[in-house]
Structure formats: structure tokens, C-alpha cells
Amino acid sequence: MSSATATKPPLGFRIRSWLGDNALRFYAVIAFIYLLLPVAYTFAFSFNNAGRTNLVWNSFTLDNWLNPCGAPQVCPSVVNSITVALIVTLVSTFLGTLIAFSLVRYRFRGRSTTNLLIFLPMATPEVVLGSSLLALFLNLFVPLGFSTVVIAHIMFCISFVVVTVKARLASLDPRLEQAAMDLYASEREAFRRITLPLVAPGIAAAGLLAFSLSFDDFIITNFNSGQFTTFPKFVYVSATRGIPAQANVIASAMFFIALAIVLLAQLSSRRRKAA
């Protein structure tokens, strides 16, 4: 007993060792709580019987989920945001993919400058970007509204698409295409059968990123939207009198839809690896 006690590490050493082994777990738990607490608040208050304001909990109700369009202008603003995001996703994904292919596969004069210009919208603060676009539209006498919001969103979403697709292209082995052409496949057929399926996950990820950035944007939209109202703008305007519980319903639904897409993508990836 005495020898076992003598070799036992001191209590302070054991505590420090345990904290060192589990510190990362604590940090991860704290980070997840920090990230998910606003989501949990939004989800909880989507069941609030709010009345005129949704700042104080009154009572539990399912009416908000059964009638998500009950508050004025909620659903029209969501439709506006989804419409803008879909158009922006299609255009920016198409243009961004073409730019990414040209930057990765070809060497041309001004390539390094183009790379720099692609990163500028990502590095520029949104206040600067939004106010600059507003000044441009006003100087060109372009009426603010749906079209100016779409143009502004496409401009900054292209950068994210290019970066995402470029990362996928850079990881591909060019010898796969060369092998296909050695087996008498034309350049177009090699692209369709080899390159495009391999790049498709990166293009899909870029499209989802562009959609979420467009749907979520407030600052640039607020500068260039005029009387056109998107869902983030509606939430901002409604915040002074209490965001309607129906807005919490829509925000919670969007979160769970995005979570479901991510989980399905992970499950699909695991099944492909297992096969």
C-alpha cells in the first residue's frame, strides 16, 4: 500500500493532465453552445403566442407553424429573397465556374490580375461595397429595386463560386482526361464523362454557398434595394417592434432544411466511399 501511494501522481498533476486531455472537448462544447444559442432562441420563440410583439414569452402555441404567413409581409419578403437567390445562384454559378476553369486550365496575360480582382469583393467590407454600388446606380440613373439587388448579389457571389470551384479543380488529376482522350474520347466527351462528374460536387457546393449568401445578405441589399423588401430587410425593419413569430418559423425552417441538406450530403458521401 505504501509503495502504491508513493508512486501515485500528485492531485494537482492529475487535474492538469485531465484538463489537458479534455480541454479541446470543452472548447468544442462552448463553441457549439455559442453558435447554436441564437438558433435555439429563434426556434423556441417560433412557438410563442406573441400577440403584438414577440419580445416576451407569453404561452406555447402551434398556430405560428400552422399559419407561417399570418404576419403581414412575411411570406412576400421570403418569396422575394428566394427569387433573388435562385437567379443569383444560377448566374453566378455558371459564370464563376467558367472563370474558375479558365484560371486553372489556361495561362493568359492578366491571369494574376484576374485572380486578385476575384478576391477583392470577398475582402472588401460590405458597407464599402454596398455604398459604392449605390453611388454607381445613382450616377447611371438606374432605379433601385429587384434588378439592382440581383446585380449586386451576383457581383459578390461570383467570387465565392470561383474560389470554391478552383479548389475542386486544383485537386483533380489532369491525367484522367488525357487517359480518356488516349482511349479515343473527344475533348468534349472527356469533359462530359470525366471532368464534369468529378467537378460536380464542387459546383454544387458553390451553388449552395451562393444561394445562402444571397438569401442571407442584408447590408448590400439595404443599400441597393429601394422599396424592394427581402426577408433579412423585413426582419431588420420589424426588430424595433418585435420580430413576428412567423418570421422565427421561417428562419427555423430554413435552418433545418439547410441542416438536412448537409446531413444528406454527408450520408451520400459515406455510402459512395463504402461502396
Contact in structure between 100 and 166 (CB atoms under 8 Å): yes
What confidence tens digit (pLDDT) does each residue in 202-221 have? 899 999 999 999 999 999 99
Mean pLDDT of 14-32: 80
Cβ count within 10 A of residue 168: 20
The reported pTM is: 0.83
Identify the residue whose cell numbers are 488529376.
Answer: 173
| Helix axes of 74-105 and 111-123: crossing angle, nearest 10 degrees | 160
Residue 35 clears pLDDT 50, i.e. is over it: yes
Residue 7 clears pLDDT 80, i.e. is over it: no
pLDDT at res. 6: 53
Cα 130–131–137 angle (5° rounding)? 90
Pull the grid cell for residue 158: 461570383
Domains annotated for the chain, with CATH where assigned, are: 11-70+245-275 (no CATH), 72-243 (1.10.3720.10)
Q: Give dist(CA 62, CA 68) in Å, integer.
A: 10
Residue 2 clears pLDDT 50, i.e. is over it: no
User: Which is higher by pLDDT, 106 or 53?
Assistant: 106
Band the pLDDT of 24: cuts 50, 70, 90: confident
Q: Residue 241 carries which DSSP code?
A: G
Mean pLDDT of 91-108: 90
Helices (H), the chain: 2-7, 11-45, 63-66, 74-105, 111-123, 126-139, 146-170, 175-182, 187-190, 196-216, 219-224, 231-238, 245-274
Q: Give dist(CA 202, CA 163) in Å, integer.
A: 10
Mean pLDDT of 217-229: 93
| Helix axes of 74-105 and 245-274: crossing angle, nearest 10 degrees | 30
Using the Cα atoms of residue 180, residue 182, residue 183 and residue 188 in order, give the sign of their dihedral: positive
Residue partners of 58: CB distance under 8 A and separation at least 6: 48, 49, 50, 51
Band the pLDDT of 5: cuts 50, 70, 90: low
Q: Give dist(CA 209, CA 30) in Å, integer.
A: 26
pLDDT at res. 222: 93
